[in-house]
Structure 1
C-alpha cells in the first residue's frame, strides 16, 4: 500500500500540487459563490456567481478564520460574505451600520445617526418597488414590497463595537440583522464587487450573458 501511494503521488505530483495551491488560494485569497436566493435583489439575482475578495479585510491563515493582519474594516455599502453562527450558514448582505452608528428603520426608510436617507424611484409594478437608496453617499438599488412586511420597521439601535448591521437589498425578503442580530467582525470572510457569471434558474439554467463580469 505504501509503495502504491508513493507511486501515485509521483505520477500525479503536478496535479496534487495544483489542487493544493488552488485550495489555499480559494481559502485565503479569492473564491466564488453561487447565490441561491433573492435576498439581494435587484443587485444580485438567484444564479449569480459572485467573486469574493477574501483579502479585502484580512490576511488569514488558510482554511481558518484566524487573521494574521488586518487590511481594513468593512464600510457602509460594502457587500460582505460572512459565516453566520446564528444562521448556521454563509450569507451575503450589505453593510448598513458600522460600530457606533445609531440606526432606525421606519416603513423601509432608514435613518442613520439622525439623518434620514433619501430614496429615488426606479421602477414599480403591482407588487414591488425598485428604488435607489443613498446610503450617506453610497447609492445602490433596493427592492420593497408594496405592502411592507413585519420587518419593514425596527426601533432605534446602536451598533456595538466589533459588530456590523447588515440588510439585504430585497428588504422585505431577507434574513439579515433583523433576524440574526449584529454580525461579529470575525465572521466576515470577504467582500464582493463583481458577478463572474450567471445562470437563469427560471429558464433551464441558461447563461445570462449580460450579467457576466458585471460590477455590483
Structure 2
C-alpha cells in the first residue's frame, strides 16, 4: 500500500486539487430543462464561479467570507429551498425589493418592466410537440435581458406583491411560462446560493441529434 501511494502520489494530489477546486472555487452545471430558454438551452454546460458571492466551507452552506453581492440580472445556480434540487435562474429582486407579476409583466419596486416588440417563434416541448412562443427584451430596474413567453402553456402569470426579506432573493426563469421558480417555492436564502453562472463550457443538442453545438462553446451568459 505504501508503495502504491508513493507511486501514485502525483495523481492523488491532482485528484485532491481538482476536487477542492470544483467544491470551493469553480464548478460546471449541465442544463437538463428549458426553463432558461432562449438564453440557456437544454444540453448546455455552464461554468459557475463559486467565489462570486461567498467563500464557503467545502460540502457545506457555511460562509467563511463574503466576496461580493448578488446583483439584479445575475444568472445564479442555487439549491432549491423546497427539495434541495440544484437550479439555475435569473435574480430579479434583491432584499428589500417589492416584486410582483401582473399578466406576465414584471414589476420591481412599483416599476413595470418595459418590453420590446415580441418576435414569434415555435418552441419545442416534450414528445416532439411544439407551441407558439414570444421572445422579447425585458428592461426593469436598470437591467435588460431576453425572455420568453408561452401563452398556450398553463403558468402562474400573476404573483405578489411580495417584499423580499433580508438575506434572501427572488428568482425567475427566462422562459417565464415554463419555469419552476420563486413564484412556486418562495425566496431563496443567501446560504443556498452556489455561485454565478458566467459562460457556457460546452453544448449538445440533447433534444434531437445529440450533436455538439460548437457555436455555443465559450459564449458569455447574459
Counterpart CA distance in 2 for 1:34 and 1:121 is: 31
Instruction: Give the superposition deviation at 1:148.
Output: 6.0
Counterpart CA distance in 2 for 1:132 and 1:142 is: 6
Is 2:102–2:159's contact at 8 Å kept on the other side of the alignment? yes
- Give SS of 1:207's match: coil
Task: Give the structure 2 partner of residue 115 of structure 1.
Answer: 111
1:190 to 186, 189, 195: 195
Task: Give the structure 1 partner of residue 98 of structure 2.
Answer: 102
Map residues 84-95 of structure 1 onto 2, 5 A cutoff. 84-95=80-91
1:156 aligns with 2:161: yes
- Give SS of 1:202's match: coil
1:169 to 152, 174, 189: 174
Counterpart CA distance in 2 for 1:151 and 1:143 is: 14
1:214 aligns with 2:219: yes
Instruction: Give the superposition deviation at 1:180.
Output: 0.9
Is 1:87–1:180's contact at 8 Å kept on the other side of the alignment? no
Give the number of aligned pairs: 212
Counterpart CA distance in 2 for 1:178 and 1:92 is: 14
Instruction: Give the superposition deviation at 1:125.
Output: 3.4
- Structure 1 portions without partners, runs of 5+: none
Is 2:48–2:196's contact at 8 Å kept on the other side of the alignment? yes
* Backbone CA RMSD of aligned residues: 1.3
Is 2:30–2:46's contact at 8 Å kept on the other side of the alignment? yes
1:58 to 37, 54, 59: 54
Task: Give the structure 2 partner of residue 205 of structure 1.
Answer: 210
Give the structure-2-normalised TM-score. Answer: 0.91
- Structure 2 portions without partners, runs of 5+: 123-131
Give the structure-1-normalised TM-score. Answer: 0.94
- Give SS of 2:119's match: strand
Task: Give the structure 1 partner of residue 13 of structure 2.
Answer: 17
Deviates more, 1:27-36 or 1:126-135: 126-135
